[in-house]
Amino acid sequence: MTEHHADHRADAEANRLNEIPRIPLNSGYDIPQLGYGVFKVDPAETERLVTEALDVGYRHIDTAAIYGNEEGVGRAIAASGIPRDELFVTTKLWNDRQSGDQPRPALEESLHKLGLAHVDLYLVHWPSPANGHYLNAWTQLVTLNEAGLTRSIGVSNHLVEQLERIEAETGTLPAVNQIELHPAHQQREVVEWSTSRGVRIEAWGPLGQGKYDLFGASAVHDAATAHERSPAQVVLRWHLQKGNIVFPKTVSRERLVENLRVFDFELSDAEVDAISALDPGDGSGRVGAHPNDVN
């Protein structure tokens, strides 16, 4: 075998081992379990970074109207040449567009910026309970889904009380609930409610946004040492084995590649349990805003 063919075979084997699983949604579609999130990515840098993400193998991009970088995502997608049906694109409805008929023009604006005829997932970004419009927003999203402007619909940052109201008053459950979730803040009540009804959990801030010493925790450090992986890879692997959908944000190509190398090893049950035990259980591990406080 020539060196070239050996290298090619090694690359093919690496790609097979690191193939991203797809998770079925209650909408009938499926979603890559690992994606690339562009929260707080500079709009001027978004096209380059999404291009790099697509180049190294990502096919799931998570953005939002409020991020201000949908245009960059759209330019990267257009330039990639990747068939549309191989991509999964999520964007979100911001709080000030939840009332009346505003969700449709909000989504149409996002689609224009993205250069797409539809998104794969559209989310109500926050419940904004003080505004009192999240139920209207959800009803409007059902209509947008029926109109083909989005293949799946879901919510973000919704608590059990809001999910119960959505279920009771519309009878239509979200495909996903995207929530802050990392080892110190696992939102078990929301997760249990959602998963028992077939609502998939997406974890934002999966690495705790660097706001506490997650990587220094012995449960993470010891697993990283045992598997000869980085602490970040271990935490992402923990998410995957818990069934979470994740889309870590990075502005480093090296980290983009590293974050994909999480499918060719597996944590033991004991390692998963040790990392799960990092949640104090009292909500003190939250690093972002409480969902009821964002209005």
How do residues 124-136 score in pLDDT, each as one tens digit?
Answer: 999 999 999 999 9
Look at residue 40 in the predicted model and tell me its pLDDT. Answer: 87
Which position among 67, 122, 134, 212 bears the catalytic label? Answer: 67
- Inform me whether the pLDDT recorded for 42 exceeds 70: yes
Indicate the average pLDDT of the chain.
93
67 as an active site residue: the answer is yes
Which H or E run contains 9?
helix 3-17
- Look up the pTM and report it: 0.93
- Inform me whether the pLDDT recorded for 7 exceeds 70: no
pLDDT grade, residue 171 (50/70/90)? very high
| Domain spans of the chain, in order of start | 20-209
**73, 114 in Cβ contact below 8 A?**
yes
Fold of 20-209: TIM Barrel (3.20.20)
Higher pLDDT, 77 or 4: 77
Mean pLDDT of 212-241: 97
Single-letter residue type at 198: G
3-state secondary structure (DSSP) of residue 183: coil
Look at residue 114 in the predicted model and tell me its pLDDT. Answer: 98
3-state secondary structure (DSSP) of residue 191: helix
pLDDT grade, residue 23 (50/70/90)? very high
Look at residue 19 in the predicted model and tell me its pLDDT. Answer: 87
Q: Kindly state the percentage of the chain with pLDDT values over 90.
A: 91
- Inform me whether the pLDDT recorded for 4 exceeds 60: no
- Inform me whether the pLDDT recorded for 8 exceeds 50: no
Report the candidate in 103, 184, 97 with the shortest Cα–Cα distance to residue 145. 103
283, two tokens: 């909500």
Q: Kindly state the percentage of the chain with pLDDT values over 70.
A: 94
Model confidence over 110-120: pLDDT tens digits? 999 999 999 99
d(CA 39, CA 271): 29
Q: Is 256 exposed, middle or buried (0-12, 13-18, 19+ CB in 10 A)?
A: buried
Model confidence over 243-263: pLDDT tens digits? 999 999 899 999 999 999 999
Model confidence over 150-163: pLDDT tens digits? 999 999 999 999 99
Mean pLDDT of 3-16: 46
- Inform me whether the pLDDT recorded for 9 exceeds 60: no
